[in-house]
Amino acid sequence: MSAADGRDGDDEDDGDDAAASHYDVAIVGGGPAGCSAGVFTARYGLDTAVFDRGNSSLARCAYLQNYLGFPGGIDVETFLELARDHAGAAGCDVVEDMVESIERGGESGGGFRVETQDGGPVTADRVVAATRYGGEYLRPLDGDAMFETHEHDGEEHEHFDPDYADDDGRTPVEGLYVASPAGERDVQAIVAAGQGAHVARTLLAEWRRAEGLPEGVLANHYDWLRPDSEFEGAWGERERWREWFDDRAADAEVDDERLSTLRERAVDRAFETRRSDEEIQRLTDEGRRRLAEHLDPESLVEAVGSDAVLDAVDDEQIREYLETEPVERTP
């Protein structure tokens, strides 16, 4: 995992692969599918870039009313801001640039080379396509086999074949996954987000199998935080997690030393998911704060009234803030 420090469009030699940023995963599309995929790969620890060209197909929606968690609906602009903020918070580099083409041949001759409209070249080990409209940028990878044609109003039109990838996003091109277009699996924002996450989990399972983990539970990655209660009794001991791993690693085709390394890594990951009550409260407060950053204060006051806003303010948090932060006063 070796993303370069920054992508500067002013590089003197954009054609120099040695100077190109390298990512484990490059995701093309900053809508629900792409951002959701990026959240999963970045949280796992893979260097991930999400290329957002700023014209998600969701922009054609007048107002988003059927995305779970927003009982009054949410305007599309705010929703996309939240999605991209989430991708960035998870660790993605959200790059405001359009991908023009992707070819074979990245770092050390493997992977992919991603050409963008404004920035320099980027290389990546894996690519996730997540653009509902348009897949021409993928043509160098498999030519016409990736496209289908149909006639409309007497004219022939060509589109990326939504069945080119299987239901899990795998394609005939090793390392290339498609979250969108995906036929009926991405026609609604909430389904597209789920498809992006599903394809990302497919990518992660294959990444983990390449490391030596066997097919099944051990190769599959579960992004899940656990409360302290999940670690009570024997499950609070590393040895119990080692036994759990060994019970499922009978088919691992690696030597004992490698298997021991994978086992300890898996146990480490299990304990890294543990959260105390205090940590859960901190995460709750931080999550609400991040959400509030996207709300317009004037609209909030107008919607619920100033008295309701004041009633919702936590007096204790204000006191703590005033005690720790200097307050500037004007003369």
CATH number at residue 104: 3.50.50.60
Residue type present at position 94:
V
Residue 20: Cβ within 10 Å count: 22
Which of the listed ranges 154-168, 238-252, 285-299 does the model predict with the highest average pLDDT? 238-252
Of 14-23, 59-68, 114-123, which gets the smallest average pLDDT? 14-23
pLDDT, tens digit, for every residue of 30-86?
999 999 999 999 999 999 999 998 677 888 899 999 999 999 999 999 999 999 999
Mean pLDDT, to the nearest integer, of 155-182?
Answer: 92
Contacts of 247 (CB under 8 A, 6+ apart): none
Arithmetic mean of pLDDT, 86-93: 98
In a domain, 4, yes or no: no
Residue with tokens 């795998």: 170
Q: Which pLDDT belongs to residue 59?
A: 84
Within-domain flag for 253: yes
Residue 279 and residue 318: Cα distance in Å, rounded?
20
Dump pLDDT digits (tens) for 142-153.
999 999 988 777
Retrieve residue 140's tokens. Answer: 């160098």
- Do residues 225 and 204 both lie within one domain? no
Domain that holds residue 326: 214-331
Q: What is the band of 198 on the pLDDT scale with cuts at 50, 70, 90?
A: very high
186 shares a domain with 64 = yes
* 259 and 317 together in one domain: yes
For 278-297, what is the mean pLDDT?
91
The whole-number pLDDT of residue 305 equals 65
Same domain, 241 and 121: no
The rounded distance, in Å, linking the Cα atoms of 60 and 298 is 27
Residue 92 phi, psi dihedral angles, 5° rounding: -75, 150
| Residue after which a domain boundary falls, among 182, 209, 236 | 209
Dist CA 207 CA 200 (whole Å) = 10
Split at pLDDT 50, 70, 90, the class of 299 is low
Last residue of a domain, one of 193, 209, 225: 209
| 1 falls within a domain | no
Tens digits of residue pLDDT in 301-326: 676 666 655 665 556 655 665 566 55
User: Within a 13 Å sphere around the CA of 100, how many CA atoms are in the beta-carbon half?
Assistant: 7
Question: Going along the chain, which residue ranges are E strands?
Answer: 21-28, 48-51, 93-95, 99-104, 112-116, 122-130, 147-152, 155-160, 176-180, 226-227, 274-275
pLDDT above 50: residue 328: yes
| pLDDT tens digits for range 262-278 | 999 999 999 999 999 99
Residue 173 lies in a domain: yes
Which domain-ending residue is among 167, 193, 209?
A: 209
Q: Are 23 and 124 in contact (CB under 8 A)?
A: yes
pLDDT, averaged across the chain: 86
Q: Angle 32-44/189-211 helices, nearest 10 degrees?
A: 30
